[in-house]
Amino acid sequence: MIIMLVGKISRVDWRHAIVRSLPNALENLDPSNGWPILERSIHGVHDYSGPYYKNLTQEEKAEGKVAKTHRLCLEAIDASDLIYAWVDDPTCYASYFELGYAHAKGKYTVVAYPPKFDRSELWFTSCCVDLIIETPKPELGLLKAVLSMVRAGRIKSPTAELAKVEGNLARLEKMGLGSSVPTTMETVNADARRDSGSLPKDDPTR
């Protein structure tokens, strides 16, 4: 599965805790050749499609590099199966557009917010996603997003996918985060074996 991680971006941000080979990819990035897809870089299983950080100078902006970055973002969405957004800053304006574009393209879209984040003015964006998650850590929210895709029948081989997710859950237990996933693998396995349709937006586990 190919995953795009949208949200505020910087040279070193939350994506580095999820995408294993991202630092090396940034060092060798050549945008003229497009953005690479980093195979098996997420959980050792999934592929990463972008975005990639590039600090554009005023000269580069004047030369139209912004339009190129825009095109690369859309290409990454087109290539992805899951669009996962971590919104902890309401000024991530590009992310709102990306979620809307992905929704229009029929992509599975998930937005995650930290606890107590005021999203009262983000109701329009909430209408463009398949699932809304509240979570203290973006990497935990991504795991829930993958689980929700399995339960929605949006992954071709759910049994194999669940085995991989189970390994990730075990690692989260060691980190003291496993209790934040309000489900059991028995429940997920049962649900993944039937076509359960779409999920309630605020609860990926029922």
User: pLDDT per residue over 9-29, tens digit each?
Assistant: 988 899 998 998 888 888 888
SS3 99: helix
The pTM of this model reads 0.77
Residue partners of 188: CB distance under 8 A and separation at least 6: 147, 150, 151, 162, 165
Which H or E run includes 70?
Answer: helix 65-79
Residue 161 confidence (pLDDT) = 61
- Ramachandran area for residue 153 (φ above 0: left; ψ -120 to 50: alpha; else beta): left
What fold characterizes domain 2-145?
Rossmann fold (3.40.50)
d(CA 42, CA 90): 26
Find the mean pLDDT for residues 95-113: 95
Query: What sign for the dihedral angle of Cα 201, 101, 97, 145?
Result: positive
Residue 183 confidence (pLDDT) = 38
pLDDT in tens, 140-163: 899 889 888 887 777 766 566 666
Reported confidence tier of residue 32, pLDDT bands at 50, 70, 90: confident
